[in-house]
């Protein structure tokens, strides 16, 4: 009797719309002066296919961060919120990518 070929299980069977390498490339593109990743949570363990996180960004670097993100093949949903009254001292840039991304929020 022929031995049955083992097939992929669980998360490995899902279509790879967003790969871990894509997420890693996104996070690496944001590594620059004035930008700090303060929170990140991958979605899809053990095979991440999405995630969300927050960067704290100095005011003069928000444009550079957005430009770096747009150069990637993977473009996440982002929200930018200024912190500091009356002049923002820091911007909170939150992102969602892949399976963790919600529609219309």
> What dihedral angle (degrees, nearest 10) is formed by the CA atoms of 4, 6, 9, 13?
-100
Domain that holds residue 57: 17-89
Q: What pLDDT, on the 0 to 100 scale, is given for residue 76?
A: 83
Query: Per the domain annotation, does 11 fall within a domain?
Result: no
CATH number for the domain that contains residue 57: 3.30.70
Q: For residue 100, what are the CA distances in angstroms to 17, 74, 76? A: 12, 14, 10
Query: Per the domain annotation, does 71 fall within a domain?
Result: yes
DSSP-derived letter for residue 84 is S
Query: Per the domain annotation, does 95 fall within a domain?
Result: no
Query: Per the domain annotation, does 24 fall within a domain?
Result: yes
How many domains are there within the chain? 1
Query: Per the domain annotation, does 9 fall within a domain?
Result: no
Q: Of 20 and 100, which is predicted with more confidence? A: 20
Q: State pTM to two decimals.
A: 0.76
Query: Per the domain annotation, does 94 fall within a domain?
Result: no
Q: What pLDDT, on the 0 to 100 scale, is given for residue 45?
A: 76
Top-ranked range on mean pLDDT: pick from 11-25, 50-64, 73-87: 50-64
Interval 1-24 mean pLDDT: 69
Query: Per the domain annotation, does 38 fall within a domain?
Result: yes
Query: Per the domain annotation, does 50 fall within a domain?
Result: yes
Q: How far apart are CA 96 and CA 77, in angstroms?
A: 5
């Amino acid at each position: 009797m022929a031995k049955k070929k083992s097939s992929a299980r669980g998360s490995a069977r899902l279509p790879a719309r967003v790969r871990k390498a894509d997420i890693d490339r996104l996070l690496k593109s944001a590594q620059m002066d004035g930008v700090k990743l303060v929170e990140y949570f991958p979605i899809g363990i053990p095979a991440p296919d999405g995630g969300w996180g927050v960067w704290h960004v100095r005011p003069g670097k928000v444009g550079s961060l957005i430009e770096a993100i747009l150069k990637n093949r993977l473009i996440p949903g982002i929200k930018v919120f200024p912190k500091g009254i009356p002049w923002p001292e820091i911007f909170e840039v939150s992102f969602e990518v892949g399976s963790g991304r919600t529609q219309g929020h």
